[in-house]
Amino acid sequence: MNLGLSGLREISVIGTPPKDRLAVKTFVRQWNDALVRDACLRELHRAGQIYFLHNSVQTIHRTAEQLRTLIPEATIGVAHGQQPERELERVMQDFYHQRFNLLICTTIIESGIDIPSANTIIIERADRMGMAQLHQLRGRVGRSNHQAYAYLIVPPPENMTNNAERRLNAISSLSELGAGFALASHDLEIRGAGQLLGEKQSGAIDEIGFSLYSDYLHRAIRELSTSDRALGTDVQRCAVDINLNVTALLPEDYLPDVHERLVFYKRLANTTHQAEIKELQLEAIDRFGLLPEASRTLFRVTQIKLAAGLIGIEKLHLGQHGGEIRLSEQTSVDPAFLLQMIHDTPKDYRIRPDNVIHLTTPLEAPELRLDRAEAIVATLSGKTSASLS
């Protein structure tokens, strides 16, 4: 996964679910007798089967007795890895042929189990399990065209670690079909990606986040690539500090889901070509409706920022009373052209001793600041010879 995300190996994602397959509805809840009983009875009433995962062989039979008392309507079987092979095989065969409808088990069911009639799973102490493990266990249900349910039973928040809460939040929010890749990315971000080519798979990148780590890694790989250096690609694209003092965001009433908004911001921030920004804009319109003014501004600012980075603009600040422009040492802007521009428009531009270009023209309206920023970037990149005055 790490090698694939870093670009050292090819990676393909299967995102198309089987026909008529439904996403598993996932709930994170604390233990409650009524909740467990209702979840089981709902499944039994539609002639389905239930997994109840209790991952402790020492206490699994005690849990079975508790559930027999709580849900007398269910017929119960027990399966775990310390059972004799033939006994375990018999239990699983009986469950497959629906001779009982509630299987109390350990994580032995994690892989290789395909029982279409089992469409509810209850996982005790889900906070003790990894994200990939929870995703695998959740995949044991919903293997038909029936709606499936997964209940992750956890202790009170004060008894869980921060990482456990982050794992549970990710697994509950990413329940749509084909979410495995996104979950794996979250898992890497929580645990750290570790050594890229070594055996140790626990890193310390939580200070900058996995997205920024991947960005730095991609840049380093491209810089070390002889072909990229020879072709003069956008390896030298610099980070741009852009502030146009405009409202640029995805409003809550336009995209209510917090996680979805964060994912969209992240995708927008990771774009490397203008075409990608256009595609994201069309996707937003298609999924959520016509863009509000603040969102249209967000896409314009992102386009300006990307174009500015390509020509080596480090800083672009515009406000009501003017602004500032600073170029990086590796800028592709012709110094002679820059000096000529300042000489031709002395009322609009002047250069300070610290090599920052000061824009003196008032820009009171947000639309004026956006237009001026686009004009500055276009002119400095040589796309247009229009006057900046």
Domain boundaries, the chain: 25-177, 241-380
- What amino acid is encoded at 139 in this protein? G
> What values do phi and psi take at 203, rounded to 5?
-115, -175
* Residue 202, token pair as written in the block: 């626990």
CA-based max dimension of the chain: 90
Q: Give the model's pLDDT for residue 221.
A: 73
Q: Give the model's pLDDT for residue 232.
A: 42
Q: Give the model's pLDDT for residue 387.
A: 36
Which value, to the nearest 10 degrees, does the dihedral of the CA atoms of residues 241, 244, 245, 247 take?
Answer: -100
Which residue intervals of the chain are DSSP H helices?
2-5, 33-45, 60-70, 85-96, 131-138, 162-173, 180-191, 210-224, 226-231, 258-269, 274-288, 293-311, 335-344, 366-380
CATH number, domain 25-177: 3.40.50.300
Q: Give the model's pLDDT for residue 386.
A: 40
Structure confidence by residue, pLDDT tens digits, 253-291: 998 888 888 888 888 888 888 999 999 999 999 988 999
pLDDT, mean of each 10-residue run, the chain (389 residues):
60 70 90 95 95 95 96 95 93 95 94 88 94 88 90 93 86 73 67 53 56 70 58 54 89 86 86 90 91 93 90 88 85 82 82 80 89 89 47
3 state DSSP class of 230: helix
Tokens 């008894």 label which residue? 159
CATH number, domain 241-380: 3.90.1150.50
Distance, CA of 113 to CA of 90 (rounded, Å)? 14
Q: Give the model's pLDDT for residue 188.
A: 65
**Count of alpha carbons within 13 angstroms of residue 261, beta-carbon side:** 12
Structure confidence by residue, pLDDT tens digits, 28-40: 999 999 999 999 9
Q: Give the model's pLDDT for residue 139.
A: 87
